[in-house]
Structures are given as C-alpha cells and as structure tokens.
Structure 1
Amino acid sequence: MLRTLDKRQKGGTASENSVKSKSVNASNVKKPDASSETTIKPTRPEITKSEPPREPPSQKSEIRSEVILTSSSSTPIASRRIIKRNSVPPDYGRIVWITDPDAGFQAARIVDLSKSGFTLTLLHSNETVNRKYEEVFSSEEDPNKSVEDNCALMHLNEATLLNNCRLRYKQKKIYSYVANILISINPYQTIDGFYSSQKIKEYRGKSLGQKEPHIYAIADKSFREMRRHRKSQSIIVSGESGAGKTESQKAILRYLCENWGADAGPIQQRLLETNPILEAFGNAKTLRNNNSSRFGKFVQIHFADNGNVAGGHVSHYLLETSRICRQTSGERNYHIFYQLIAGSSPELYKYLALGQPHCFNYLSKGFLGFFTHSVNSQTNILKSRWSDSRFSEDSMVDDYLDFQRLENALKLTGLNEKELMFIWSTVAGILHLGNIEFEENHGDSRGGCKVSQRSEGYVDQAARLLGLETIELRMGLCARIMQTTKGGARGTLIRVPLKSYEAIAGRDALSKSIYSKLFDWLVSRINRSIPFEESTHFIGVLDVAGFEYYAVNSFEQFCINFCNEKLQNFFNERILKEEQELYEKEALNVRRIEFMDNKDCIDLFEMKGKGLFDLLDEEARLPTPSYKNFTKRAHEENRKHFRLDTPRKSKVKTHREMRDDEGLLIRHYAGSVCYETKQFVEKNDDQLHNSLQILIEQSASPLLVSLFPSATSSRPSGNKLKSQSVGSKFKSQLTILLEKLQSTGTHFVRCIKPNNQMDAWNFDGAAILSQLQCAGMTSVLKLMQDGFPSRTSFGDLYSSYQRKLPPKLARLDPRLFAKCLFRALGLDPPDFQFGVTKVFFRAGKFAEFDSGSSF
C-alpha cells in the first residue's frame, strides 16, 4: 500500500524483472508551461535578493574487489510505486512518514483510508491531517534505530534515508553510506579526535563496512584499489557551498600522506601545505559559507611502484575573478586581502601603504570584519586596522593566524624573501589600483577622462608597488592604443581617449588579470615543489562547486552548473548505464531503473554553431557586442529546445519581470535556473586591451612581467588581444578533466549542508532532503535495493587461495571453487550472485566475506 522499496517484496521471476527502463531523453517530453516548471527545491519557499534560496593490503585481502561507481550529483527520479487503493484495508495504527515542507517528513499514524488518500494523526501534535497516497512513505519497524549503511534499511525511500541521517546526526555521527557513496553532513564544529593520527591508523587496510563510516574509509579504499587494480583512482567530493567539501578534501590528503608519505621527505609536507596557499587566494566569505572555494581544483597525489607518495599536482578551474572588484553585501573579497591587513608586520603594513578594509573600494562594499577563532588573534590585530569593532568567530578561518600559516607554507614551497615581497606588493597594488577614480576631462576636445585629483596618491602607490612609472600608469588607464587598419596610414598607432566608465572597466580588467595571473603562478610554484617523476599511478581528489541557484544568477553560475551537468552525465554513463549493462552481460537477475538523460542539456551549452558558448564567443567578436543581442540569438537559435525558455516562464516573480532579451531560463537536471545575461559578454572576455598589456610589459618587476606572455606576436590590428574566451577555456579544461576521470576508478563523497545559518548540530530536514534528492541518493537506493555494488572475479578469488590449497582442490575450475568456498563459509545466497565471470555481493557484504574468508 505504501510507497516503498521493501526488501521483503524483492525477487520475482526473470521475466518480471527483465522489463527494460531505458534512459529518457528530456527532449521527447512535452515542454511544460509556467505552472509546471521544475525548480530546485529551496530550503525556504521564498527567494529574495538579500537571502537567496536555498600499506599494501594483507595476503587475504588481495582479492580484487571492483566497486560500483555512484555519483554525488545524480538526478532524483520519482519512480517509487504510487499507492493504489484496493480492497485490502490498511494497517490501521501503523506509523508512516508523510511529506512536510519544513521538516522534510513527519511521523504520523494511519487512522483511516479514503478515496483520495489517508487520514493520519501526527505523532508530535496529535493533529489530524489528510494526505494523498503518493505523499505517504513506509517507515522502519523501529524508526529510532539507525544503520551505518542506508542500504541496510528494510524500507528504502527518501523518508527513511532522511530519518536515518537525522538519527545519526543527533548521535554526533556525521557519516553514513549509501552502498559505496559516503554521505557527510557538516557538523559546523570541530570534533575532538575525529581526524587524529590514531584514527588514521584504525582505518588503514580496512574494507568498507568493517568500521564506522568515515572519510578515511573512502581514502583507504581508493588506495587499496589503486594497488590491486594497478589503476589510478579519483575521489569526487561535491555538495553545496558550506557543505564541507574543502575540509573533506584536506582529510583525504592528510590520510594518504600520513600513511604512505613518511618516506617522501619534504614532499609530504609540501602537499599538505598547499591548502593554506590555495585557500588564501581562492577562498572567500559568501552568504552561505565563510570559507567558500571560489574555484574548482583537482589535486593528485602520485605514488611510486612501492606504494609510497612520489609527488603531486594541482589543477585549478574557473577562478571567480569578478569577486576581486565587487562583492554582494555581506560577502568578502578573497581572504588574502584581509589576512595581509590583519597579519602583516608594522614595517610591511607601512611599506604597502595599507589601511582599514573600508578604505579600499575593492573591499568597502562587502563585509568589513575580520575572522578569528582565538582571543589571541583579536588582541594581535591592532585596532588601527579595524573597520568594524566586531570580530566574527569561525572555527576554520582566522585572518591573523592564517597569514602566519600562509607565510610558512609559501616558504616551505620554496619561495624566497624577494618572491614573498612580490606577492605582498602585487596584492596591495591591486587594492590601490581599485581606489583610482576618474572624471571627465573638460579640457580634452575629444571627450576623454582623467584621473581625479583625490586619486593621485593611489596612482603613485599602485605604480610603486607594481613597478610601473606613474605617468605611464595614468596614461594607460585613461587612453587606449589602437592600430589603424585602413588608408595610407595603415599600421599607425593612435591614442584614443577613454570615457570615465571605459577607464573604470579597464582598471578593473587590469586588477582581475593581475590577480588571476598571480593565482596561476602560485599554483605553478606549488607544482614545481612537488614533482612526481617516479610516479606510476595517482589518486586525485576533485573539489568543485555544487549546483548553484541564487536570486541573481550570472555567468559564474552558468559555468558552474554546466560543469555539474557534465559530471551528472559522467555519472549516468559510468554508473546507471554501465553498471546495469554489466548486470545484463553477467546474466544477473537485477531489475533495471530509469534515469533522465541530460545529454540534450549539455548540447544546449556546447553544440557547434548554435550552442550557448559558441553564440557568446561569436557575439564577442562583433565590433559592438551586446548581451541583449546574444540573448535574443540564443532564444532564436534554440526556440524549440526543451531545456531553454524565456524568463517569463519562471515561477519566481523577479525573474518574470525580466525582458526576453535579458535572461535565459534553463531546465537543468536538478531544476530550472534563470540567468541574468547582463554581464555575460564582459565576463566571458576578460582579456586586457593592448595598451594595458604593453603597460605591464614595461614593469620594473621581472616577476610581474613574467606573468603575462608577450603581446608582440599576438597583437592584432584591433583593440584586443586574440585569446581563448573564459567559457571556451573552461570547456576545454572540463573535457580534459572528464577524460582523466573516465580513465580512473571513481569514488564519491556527497557533502551536505545541514542548515543555512551555519549553526552547529542543527538538522534542517527540508534543506537536507533537497540536497539528498539533487545528489541522486534516491536513484542510488533504487539501484542498490536489487544491485550488487561489490564484486570480484573468479580468477582473482581463486588466485588468492591457490597456493594454500591441497592438490585436489587446486585443480578445481575457479568458478566451481568459488561455489564450494561460499558453501563452506555458510554464506547466505541472497547476499551474493554468481555471474558469468564474477561473483557479486550485496552492499556491505563484501566486507563480511573479506574479514571471514581467511584460513
């Protein structure tokens, strides 16, 4: 009667279970109207501008165990059987789960059955309510009993999954499994001893399920599978901003380095010290997370043939450069700006001509306070450097202490004092550059602008710190050098005065370009310090932003969500499709599941000619590019595309107020997002004009000059340098990344943000349910109820025992040997199935076999 995946009802004949559920292409589905638009389930029903919605293994464990790959970003599929009324009366008095907009689900007791659904009494209030059949879910017989692996639940559904996560979270247990996926719910609090060296020792060499769920178990599993299969591995860590992805990645790196990096000398320490550098220059406070990574990264730890750490490599993607010049109210610029102000010595502070955060245009519009997590830091930050008398406490971010850690990390990476001063001068130079303002030059008949009188001091400071001549910087900001293309004077360089708004745009472009190049340089220096010449395989940890949806969504969200579509497609192909194809190939009696194919959404972005990225690049090549023209063409070229619509079809009022040529409504796998295209053209083309490039080439700082490739050979006759657009570069990077992921074994960690207030141990059921759905946990539960996530080949199983067997048994066929072994061990037939070439295990059962199968 109830919507459930009840293990007591599993089975059926092969013919009953062989009905194929092929992938559904969304383009074949009727295009919905406004009333049927699917949106991301927000934590709160309203969207406002101020608050957006929401050692090598032991002998016996050498058995090769392949593991199902499951994705942290899969599509929730509403495929549970809808309850139908029949002549059999329901279990009156039975406790069930009913949907609830605030808690996700509430416990209730059935009191009656009507034509349209159930009548129930809420357990917490005795209130009587009515619910449709599809809003009622089966509960466990003991709803207060928790399990480590959600696949061990008798009733597999969203309600029991959420309840189990809730029970464990109340017990201060932040981890649980869905088969081989780790669910991690951010505690927003440091847990004593939870990531200690002793804990690392406890998980070494242990199969999944032998100990409590932990991020270390996933890290150990990846290492063991790399050694067994002699194949590189990847761990994909995903989730919303503030869900704990960065901390999870750091825990994985520490586990691998501490276990197998002791003989690597300084390389191990350098690998671990990459985090203070990357976080200082790539993380910032947002409305949802005080330490939000504003770039994606794939950190590889390379191993030598003996299993020891041999080196590493960091790849980074799509740094959010727009944050350098402006932030949303309540957010901050990158941490480094505040760390430098808070933690620099008095001598350095004076040399850099620093001031309080509110003194700088690039900081003054956002949150002005410092972060600390110790009284000592609050005391050490001089009051003369405060913009706000309040300090914000944070367990992870401390501007004063983090600056000291940053200095140590940079020195450990191999940077000398001269290079350190170059970094500090560049960061401070950007702050002074942002304070340069312009006014119309009424004495210029050509209508140009000039630096305002009150900004002259900032021009001097910016020029000094960036190694430029003051007069050259002033001229470079107020005019553009162009080359004539026609007439007898063809090839002549001319100076074109700029309007004030054009000079501001050029100033900001220069600041963003310098910062972006500095970030690239820092990553390259990190990689130089952790070479991996002796590497045979690697374990990579991918940390990318999860699906993003705000009151205002711009080009950054456009790119991030495209990335998530690509990862979702990788999941579909690697898991939901390939896994079920393997079951068929091995002749297993496993029911198939449906999944939504999102290839058409990816095509909308990257199709040749009329894909959104190509149209955007084409617009940028026009003499006078316009975001409205781009938006109009996007709708015209894709007017029949299921995934694309106009803002008027949005369910959000502020989005419906947009004109058709001002926004794009895209139906993603996780819900619909309305993008405001106003700054798409500018953000996709962040290259410098020739005059600013030439200005940098003339810097007295050789390090700054080295950040920019010479413009001489690539300088066109127009006013901009020819180079790859931001979108095209990101597409290329993603292609390389996915090719790398496809060539590795894959493991998934799904990080969950428990509440929007970032309160410790506060479980917001509705917010967590939404994330679990978008993470595809329902689809995984469906696959796991009848699936076999762990498996080993008969040959590998036989090989691990062969030299211990008497001659008679040693001559057995590997498949027959496996059957005899399983019978001798008294294993339960429902816990495994024999395929054509492999034996397959239910979720969690391989660990039991692995721990009990030694002689």
Structure 2
Amino acid sequence: DMVQLDELTEATVLSTLRVRYRRKDIYTNVGGILIAVNPYETLEAQIYGEEQMHAYGSADAAFAGMTPHPYLLAEAALRALDRDRESQSFVISGESGSGKTETCKYVLRYLSYRSKRRYEHSIQARGDGKANALEESVLLSNPILEAFGNAKTLRNDNSSRWGKYTQVYVQPSSGSIKRVGITAYLLEKVRIVERAKGERNYHILYQMGLGADPVAHAVLRDDGYGKDDGGNASVAAIDVDDAVQFAATRDALLKLQIEETGLVGALSAVCHLGDVCFDEVADDHADSIAAVGKNDMRKRGGGFLGMGGGDEKRHAIDIAAEALGVNRTELEESLLSRRVAGVRVPRRAAEAEHAKAAFAKALYSRVFDWVLARVNDALKAMTGTGQTLREALTGKKQPKEELLTIGLLDIFGFECFAHNSLEQLLINYANERLLREFNKQVFEAATREYNAEGVPVGDLTFHDNSGLLNTLEGPRDGIFAMLNSECVRRDGNDANLLKAIVKKHSRAPGAKQDRSTAGKTFGVSHFAADVVYEIGGFVEKNRDRLPEEICSLVSTSDALFVAGLFADVDEAAGEGASGAAFAGSSAARGGGAGSKKAQRYVAGSFAESLAKLTGLLDETAQSFVRCVKPNHKAAKEAFDGVVVLDQLRCMGMLELVSARARGYAGRMDHDMFTSRYGILMEDAKDVDMAAFESADKAKLGEFLRLLATKKFIKPECLSNGEIAIGKTKVFLKRGAQNVLETAREARLCADVLLALGEATASRDANALELTLRIADELRL
C-alpha cells in the first residue's frame, strides 16, 4: 500500500509503480483504491487462475499476505455486502487502452466463481443447474457486447465505445448471484458513419463479413477489406482474427439462444447503405438536386467500412433495400426527398447523405439495443433458484433475504484529438462528472464526516472541478443549455452558438480561447488537458434529425426483425435523442425515436443519463480502480515515466495518497463497535460487556483500553491516531482494523469448531443450524 511509504512524493510513487511493473506486479493499492498498470501481455496463468481465486476467497479478514488484485476488491465487496448490508459498486476509469474492460471482466469472473462455489452443494442436492448457468451466461455476454459495442481506435484495438453499468444482484450471506442486469449508456453512434484515420467501425461488421457462414455471405460481401477510411493498407486489428472472434460471438449467441438471422439482414443494410452515394443533378427547373450515383462507394473508396470491390453487378441501394425488406424505389425516394405539408421536396446531395447517415446510425443503435435486451432476457431466464447450503443440510427453509447489488461501471476515457467535436465534449464531460463523483466520495464526504464527528485530520486538498461542470451543464447559461436553445430556433446555427459561448464563458472556470482559431473553435481546460473544440457541426449533431420518411417506410418492412426495430415510429417525430451521436438503452435515450413533445436533443439526453448513473452510484459504497497505460505504443515491458505520471496527476492520485495517509479506512457506530469486538472479551471474567451497551465516548475509551490490556491492540493506538473516537462513531486506520478483524475471526473459528462438535455429538438440529450460520459468515 503506497500510503505506507515513508516519503510520499511524485518520485517515490512513480518508482514504486515502475519496480512493481517490472516484477509483473501490475496491481498496487493506494489506501483501498487499486491502480492497475496495463501489461500489454497475457498473464492469465500467473495471476488469474482458479488457484488465485481460491486463495482470495479463503483469505483471512485482513487479507494478510494477499497482493493487490481485482479479485481482492471483489472479495472485499462481497464481505462488506454481508457485513454492512449495503450495496457496492466499482468505478473503473482510465484512458482508452488502459485496461478498463479487462479489469471489469476479471471482477465479474471472480463474482461468478464465488457464486458457483457456493451453489455446488445445492445443485447436487436438488439437480437445479440454473445457478451454474447464470454464472456462465454472465461470462458469455462479454464477447457479444464487445462485438457490437467495441471498435479499434488509434489508442486501443478493443476500445469500448459505450458505457456499461452491470448490476449483479447478490444474496449477501452467501455471495450467490441471483440476477444480473446490464444498462448501456452513451453508445457512440457517430462511429457508424465517420472515424479518425486508421480506426475501424464496430467489430461485428467485420466479423460477419469474414467469419459468417454461406447464408450470411449471401448478404454481407466477403471480398475482404482493402482499406480503411484514411486510405491505409489494412483495417485489420493487431493480433485479432475477425473470423475467430466471430466464432466466439456466434457461440455465445447460440448458447444464450439469441437468434442471429434478423441481425445479419439489419447489419448488412448498415454496411450497404454506406456504399450508396449521391450526385448533384439539375431538375426541370435547372435547380441542383440529389440523385443516387451511378457508381457506388465500392468504386469510390469504400463506404462505412472502407471496403472496395464486392458484387459490382448489383447496385448498393438494391442490396440495402433487399436487406431492409423494402421496395428499392421507395427507399431511394425516401433518401432523395422529404414531404412537407404533403408536398414532395427534393433534397440536395449533402442533405441526402445526411439523411442516409442519420438512418444508418439509428438502425445500428436499435440493433445494439435489441441485442442488449436479449442478453438481459437471457440473464433473467437463468436466475438461480437453488437452496442454500444451510437449507440443504438442515432441511429448513430460511427466511427470504433481501438482495443487494454489486455494480461495475466501465465507461470510455478522456479524449483529445487533432480535431475535436461534440462527441469528444460529451465524452470528456462524462469523465468530469466521474471525477466529481470521485472527489465527493473520497474527499468531500470524508471531510464533512470528520468535522461532524470532531476527529481532526487536517485539510484534505483536491482538484475541485465544480466550476467547470457549471460552465458545461449550468441550467440556464451552461454550454449545453445554450446548445439546446440554439437547436430550438429554426435559424439556429454554429456561428451564433459560438458567439454566445464566447460572450458568456470567455472568463468562466475552465474556459480557454485560442486567438489563432477565433470564430471556429472554443477551448475547455479539462482536468486531464486543455482541449480545443471545433464548433462546426455542433448544432446539427445535437439535433441529429432522424428522417421520418425512411423510418415510416422500414416500419412496414417485409423483414419482421427490421420492422420491429422501428415499430414506435408512429409515436415519434423526425428528430430527437434516438438520432443522437450517443444513445444506448431506452434508459439512456429516454424512449422512442424522439418525440415532438419532449424535443430531446443529444446534450440534454446525455446529461440526464449521466445524472441517473451517478444517482445509482450514490446509493452504493463505491470502490475505485484507476487503470494506467505504461506507454503510448501498447508495448510490453516498457514503462514511460512521463506518460504514467501525467495520468496519475490527471486522476488525482497524488492528492489521494496524501489524503489516505491522514484519513481512516474504517468507521463504525459506537454500539456496532462494542458489539462486533465484544466477543473478544467473552473469556474475561472481570469484564461485564453489558456495561458497554449504548456506549458513549467515555465508555468507548474504556473499552479500547481493555482491548489493549488483553493485547488485542497496541496501547498507543489511541494516542498515535490509529483509532479515533468521534461523537457517534469509532474511526480506524487500516492496520488497526485488520488486527481487530483477524482476532475476531480467530475467536469465531474456535467457537464454531467447538459448537459443531457439540451439535454433532448431541444431534441437536437447532444448534447445528446456528453453527452453520456462523460457518457461512466465516466462509468455512
């Protein structure tokens, strides 16, 4: 634990991480917060096997001798769930490519292992395999959701382009998983139609082109991928075989009983729509209007996937219409024109391209929502019902226990590119909100509690980004409010928006202006870096109109799968949150394809979804994992101190180390403290524990002195601040808490072994039940 370093400086923190990284110790503890340095190599056999899981599951109360690990955090969360009866959550953050998704998967793997181990006896006793199937289903959901929600970016070959909050419903006393639900936030829909040079679209679009069977090949062309959007030689991801990955995706779909036939057609439509291009032609009045180009994008450089070649005997729009199950002429008409008051108004080429892109984004987003809903349905169907070990052994039904949750948040990290637009602003806003949540949980709440309890710890300094957040999300004058207001106006445009931002926020917290790009950009000084945002496209991206003509057409499609995706268009208008740059589950979208009543734009929906997410986190005891990239080249055994230190500063880890060294890891109400550790005094004939019921501060001091007399704690614990007595709570540094917990567990183990022998000898069923209840708590 870096809190215990004799000297806390940037140099010692960095040196500690460097030494551990070189020893393949990629995890380091900082006062209960885990730093995970991406090794860029597989360490499966060394640190992630079942042997390691067993070791963490059977560790003592203080986890003595156990190295920092996601398994340790997961086990600690399970024990806290039982001890405190409070839901838990993990907030896993870091830059793209730092290992957030992998860390999340290891936590899920451990929770599944623990649940499966608890159910082994009940499955044998009742022949109920649902519990085992639930744990397997949780792990099977990973390749499916990664295929549909992850993509190759400049920083990461498997970057999550959406936020995932997984809620694992657990029986506190046993750690058994009873239910799992996954909520999606902020799917990056814009990736479907545009990406940076060298990046790829979503994995599934390439997997189904290379790995699909002949039936899928009949719809998705299989000519390979000649070049990406930037004109590079290949769109292949490093060390990734799309065909092999598709086999894993398809196997998971099959095992979770998710039908893939409809998916093939819908995804084919997304791909081929990208190959449709438009030319400007003159109509009868010599006006310029759009027409479908004679040569589609396969001959011009490659569409949404950047592919050339293919079946050039058929036009892309013919294949797209067939995949969508609609008439080719009607599809063309819906792209080339719109209806205003019953009159057909032709679009220009750029307008037709925008309508096509908006529909393709909406189609993929709804496919993603459908897949996620089916995954959740599969997890619900696998809900475990097996009896507990205690029920199996005693034959007695136990009272129903309230389920609590362990949540895992995996969301994309801070972004700063050569060209930054609304998408990057929203991503970075999400990271600012998570930093605020971190500050609130780690610094502000602790400071308020210490002050209220009269426990002196000194000032806990931290980076306060509340001013910047107000600049972004202020209800009246925030940048997002200004953006939404500009979208409401018929003549709203980017130039007016930029003028309003500069006028109001040129001197606001976090604002930063660059004179060289005045009139085109505005700057924001984020906690991680200064970012310049290009204003061009902000208003249209926030509106992101969904073409009503196309949606109405596909809602009557002969392809039932596609028609079902757009079954709500009768309730919806032509613009709204589902056409947004980001969307995901209905919870994030706000429902529907965007109703005229709500006029929900991208930024507003985005902010609402984040508020709901942080609200969920606030209802839990949060644990934090900070993932770190050791270098920018994804190279193993390469530790770049400048790169690492920059990330540590951005995460506020150096402030945290100092604050954790002064703060307290554990806290309990007075009565809970005496009740929990009173067991240590049971053999002391000269101590009357009844005297410590409803203990006040004075009685707590006397109780602690008794613990010191009996050698359970050091006499100097009170004087050196290891233990502090507040007005209503007792505060403990991690070392003191570990000593007491270890002593308590040793005493309980001795008691339960003695009771088990007596109950077995007397054949007393009630005594046996009581003993097994204690054994459950001690993980015997």
Which of 559, 572, 583 is the matching residue for 2:426?
A: 559
Pairing of 1:366-515 with structure 2 (within 5 A): 368-371=234-237, 392-393=238-239, 397-416=240-259, 420-445=260-285, 446-455=287-296, 457-483=315-341, 493-515=342-364
Amino acid at match of 2:471: L
- For the residues of structure 1 that align with 2:157 and 2:402, how far apart are their CA atoms? 36
Taking the TM superposition and a 5 Å limit, the aligned residue runs for 1:93-112 are none
2:375 to 526, 535, 542: 526
SS of residue matched to 1:530: helix
Distance 2:361 2:575 in 1: 24
In the alignment, structure 1 residue 791 sits paired with structure 2 residue 667: yes
Structure 1, residues 758-814: CA drift from partner, whole Å, max 9, x if none?
001210000000111111111111112222222344433332354671563323425
Deviation at 1:593, TM superposition (A): 2.5
Question: How far has the Cα of 1:698 moved from its partner?
Answer: 2.5
Identity %: 32
Q: What secondary structure is seen at the aligned counterpart in 1 of 2:564? A: helix
CA displacement, residues 686-714 of structure 1 (integer Å, 9 cap, x when unaligned): 33122122122221122212222533344
Whether the 8 Å CA contact 2:471–2:479 is kept in 1: the answer is: yes
Check the 8 A contact 2:198/2:235 in 1, yes or no. no
Query: Structure 1's 472 and 526: CA in aligned 2 closer, same or farther, altered over 3 A?
Result: same
Q: 1:339-379, CA deviations, whole angstroms, 9 ceiling, x for partnerless residues?
A: 112211234213433432238xx8675673434xxxxxxxx
Summarize the Cα distance change of 1:752–1:697 in structure 2 as closer, same or farther, 3 Å threshold.
same
Show the counterpart of 2:722.
Answer: 832
Find the residue that maps to 1:193 and give its secondary structure.
helix
* Structure 1 residue 273, shift from structure 2 partner: 1.3
Aligned mates of 2:337, 2:10 — CA distance in 1: 61
Deviation at 1:247, TM superposition (A): 0.2
Aligned residues: 661
Distance (Å, rounded) in 1 between the aligned partners of 2:434 and 2:740: 33
Q: Secondary structure at the match of 1:625?
A: coil
- Specify whether residues 513 and 437 from structure 1 end up closer, same or farther in structure 2 by C-alpha distance, changes over 3 A only: same
Residue 200 of structure 2 is matched in structure 1 by 332
AA of the residue aligned to 1:464: E
1:622 and 2:622 equivalent? Answer: no
| Whole-angstrom CA distance in 1 between matches of 2:610 and 2:40 | 31
Q: Please give the residue correspondences for 1:221-260 in structure 2 after superposition, counting only pairs within 5 Å.
A: 221-260=76-115
Partner of 1:157: 9
Q: Which amino acid aligns with 1:346?
A: P
Q: Which piece of structure 1 moves more, 803-812 or 702-711?
A: 803-812
Deviation at 1:845, TM superposition (A): 4.4
Cα distance in 2 between the residues matched to 1:623 and 1:614: 16
Alpha-carbon contact 1:482-1:690 (below 8 Å) kept: no
**Residue 711 in structure 1 maps to residue 569 in structure 2:** yes
Task: Map Cα deviations across residues 240-268 of structure 1 (whole Å, 9 max, x no partner).
Answer: 00100000000000100111145423221
Match of 1:202 among 48, 55, 58: 55
Q: Distance in 2 between matches of 1:230 and 1:255?
A: 20
Identify if the C-alpha distance between structure 1 residues 438 and 255 changes in structure 2 by more than 3 Å, giving closer, same or farther.
same
Paired residue for 2:558, among 700, 703, 710? 700
- Contact 1:788 / 1:841 at 8 angstroms: preserved in 2? yes
- Under a length normalisation based on structure 1, what TM-score does the superposition of the two structures give? 0.74
| Aligned-partner residue type, residue 98 of structure 2 | A
Contact (CA 8 Å) 1:798, 1:818: kept in 2 or not? no
Query: Of residues 489, 510, 530 in structure 2, which corresponds to 1:672?
Result: 530
TM alignment of 1:36-55, pairs within 5 A: none
1: CA distance between counterparts of 2:232 and 2:199? 5
Query: Who is 1:817 aligned against?
Result: 703
User: Structure 1 residues 454 and 208, CA, compared in 2 at 3 Å: closer, same or farther?
Assistant: farther
RCO (CA 8 Å, sep 6+): is it higher in 1 or 2? 1
Higher share of residues assigned helix: 2
Contact map agreement 1:343 1:400 (CA 8 A) in 2: yes
Cα deviation 1:671-729 (Å, max 9, x = unaligned): 32211121222322233122122122221122212222533344489999634212111
- Give the structure 1 partner of residue 220 of structure 2: 352
Q: Rate the CA distance shift 1:757–1:702 in 2: closer, same or farther, 3 A.
A: same
User: Residue 287 and residue 840 in structure 1: after superposition, are their counterparts in 2 closer, same or farther (change >3 A)?
Assistant: same
Residue aligning to 1:298 = 165
What residue number does 1:744 align with? 620
CA displacement 1:429-465 (0-9 Å, x = unmatched) = 1111110111123344343221122336111111111
d(CA) in 2 for partners of 1:460 and 1:302?
47
Q: CA contact under 8 A between 1:690 and 1:721: conserved in structure 2?
A: no
Residue matched to 2:146 = 279
Tell me whether 796-805 or 168-177 shows the greater mean CA deviation.
Answer: 796-805
Is the contact between residue 34 and residue 68 of structure 2 (CA under 8 Å) also seen in structure 1? yes
Assess, with a 3 A threshold, how the Cα gap between structure 1 residues 819 and 838 changes in structure 2: closer, same or farther: farther
- Give distance in 1, aligned partners of 2:58 and 2:704: 24
How far residue 826 of structure 1 moved from its aligned partner, in angstroms, is 4.3
SS in 2 for 1:597: coil
> Which residue is equivalent to 2:590?
none
Farther-moved stretch of structure 1 (584-593 vs 177-186): 584-593
The secondary structure found in structure 2 opposite 1:817 is helix
Task: Give CA-to-partner distance per residue, 1:65-92, whole Å, 9 cap, x none.
Answer: xxxxxxxxxxxxxxxxxxxxxxxxxxxx
Matched position secondary structure for 2:635: coil
Look up the SS of the partner of 2:16 in the other structure: helix
Match of 2:181 among 288, 313, 320: 313
| Within-5 A mapping of 1:260-271 | 260-261=115-116, 263=119, 264-271=131-138
Partner of 1:851: 742
Alignment partners' CA distance in 1, 2:62 and 2:363: 46
C-alpha distance in structure 1 between counterparts of 2:245 and 2:321, whole Å: 28
TM-aligned CA distance change 1:636 to 1:556, over 3 Å: same
Among candidates 362, 366, 370, match of residue 517 of structure 1 = 366
| Residue identity matched to 2:344 | R
Amino acid at match of 2:729: K
Q: How does 1:640-789 map to 2 (within 5 A)?
A: 640-648=507-515, 657-659=516-518, 661-715=519-573, 722=596, 723-789=599-665
Q: Letter of the 1:321 partner, please give it.
A: K
SS at match of 2:96: coil
Q: What secondary structure is seen at the aligned counterpart in 2 of 1:449?
A: strand
2:350 and 2:742 map into 1 onto residues whose CA distance is: 69
Instruction: Report if the CA contact (8 A) 1:440-1:449 is conserved.
Output: yes
Q: Do 1:285 and 1:332's aligned partners in 2 also have CA atoms closer than 8 Å? A: yes
Q: Secondary structure at the match of 2:406?
A: strand
Structure 1 residue ranges without an equivalent (≥5) = 1-148, 372-391, 484-492, 649-656
**Cα distance in 2 for residues equivalent to 1:702 and 1:312:** 29
Cα distance in 2, alignment partners of residues 601 and 538 from structure 1? 32
Once residues 553 and 708 of structure 2 are traced to their aligned partners in structure 1, the CA distance between those partners, rounded to angstroms, is: 74
3-state SS of 1:539 partner = strand
One-letter amino acid of the structure 1 residue matched with residue 226 of structure 2 = H
1:506-541, Cα deviation, whole Å (9 max, x unpaired):
111111110011111111111112226996211000
TM, length-normalised to structure 2: 0.81
Deviation per residue, 1:538-561 (Å, 9 max, x gap): 100011122222222221210111
My pick for the range that moved more, 617-626 or 201-210, is: 201-210
Distance 1:481 1:614 in 2: 30
Aligned residue type for 1:588? V
Contact 1:688 1:721 survives alignment (8 Å):
no
Shift of 1:608: 2.0
On the 8 A contact 2:256/2:378 being kept in 1, the answer is: yes
Match of residue 178, structure 1, among 22, 30, 37: 30
Deviates more, 1:780-789 or 1:311-320: 780-789
